[in-house]
Structure 1
Amino acid sequence: MSRKHLINITKNAWVKIHSILKSQNAKGMLFTAESGGCNGFNYRLDLIDELNYNKLQKNQLALHILKERDSQVIIDPLSEMFLIGTEIDYMQEDYSKGIFEKKFVFKPDKKLVSACGCGISFNPKN
């Protein structure tokens, strides 16, 4: 039986996360939701260095950490309720499909939030 996570990270996203962490010598990435954007909240992925990683580990709140090989994404405990069901993907340029940039794309659970077409903004449903 496969383990169900709060969020899903695609293979393409893991490849890019691993590449970024390795090139930046970072401990992991922190996945958060912050107020703002065109629809209420924005998704964020930030690098975590060793010092901030240790601070998060000492925090009294339970951390959900997703790991793939030697890469990890920590779900911000204060943002967790807004991030449930989200999928993180990494989109490559593909001019034949009308994709003209490389970027992380966040796909929310449409039962829980409404999302903006920009791919980084969302609003929780009541």
Structure 2
Amino acid sequence: MFSIPGAAPVTITPAAERQIAKLMAGKDAFGLRIGLKKGGCAGMEYTMELAAEPAPNEEVVEQGGARVMIAPMAQMFLFGTQIDYKTDLLESGFKFTNPNVTDACGCGESVRFEPLEGSRATK
């Protein structure tokens, strides 16, 4: 995992902690798995699913009653991300504040990251 010793790779706000714990209890799940997949206008979309157990090489972040698992291929893109849960008059849902994002689509459903140094996309 791309991390700083003693620091969590992602942070969870109290609102997100409550919602994740509620979802886990409702489905008797080990935790909420977060990741990324190709898609959307900007190129990548966040994924979330409840899971019964962590997969090999997943980073597990526990806070209060919430447990988040970070898929291995997403770890370097999610480092430093804050996970929040927002509720307003028209909608509610998880919000990711990710310092690694370089662009996002207008609807906020997809994001873009700069290619990694030395990857094929930078050559």
Question: Does TM, normalized by the shorter one, top 0.5?
Answer: yes
- The structural deviation recorded for 1:80 is 0.9
- For residues 24-43 of structure 1, what are the structure 2 equivalents within 5 Å? 24-43=27-46
Q: Which runs of 5+ in 2 are unaligned?
A: 1-5, 116-123
- 1:41-84 CA distances to partner (integer Å, 9 max, x unpaired)? 001111002xxx16x1xx2x3x3211023431011111111212
> Is 2:91 the partner of 1:101?
yes
Question: TM-score normalised to the size of structure 2?
Answer: 0.78
Query: 2:32 touches 2:49 (CA, 8 Å); kept in 1?
Result: yes
Query: 2:17 touches 2:65 (CA, 8 Å); kept in 1?
Result: no
Q: How many residues align?
A: 110
Change in CA separation of 1:68 and 1:17 when aligned onto 2, cut-off 3 Å = same
SS of 1:26 mapped into structure 2: coil
Letter of the structure 2 residue corresponding to residue 113 of structure 1: T
Letter of the structure 2 residue corresponding to residue 125 of structure 1: E
Q: Quick one: which of 38, 44, 48 aligns to 2:47?
A: 44
Q: Quick one: which of 3, 8, 24 aligns to 1:5?
A: 8
Identity of aligned residues (%): 29
Q: Which residue of 1 aligns with 2:113?
A: 124
Q: Which residue of 1 aligns with 2:103?
A: 114
Question: TM-score normalised to the size of structure 1?
Answer: 0.77
Point out the structure with the larger helix share.
1
Point out the structure with the larger strand share.
2
Change in CA separation of 1:104 and 1:47 when aligned onto 2, cut-off 3 Å = same
Change in CA separation of 1:6 and 1:18 when aligned onto 2, cut-off 3 Å = same
Separation of aligned partners in 1, 2:70 and 2:113 = 17
Letter of the structure 2 residue corresponding to residue 24 of structure 1: K
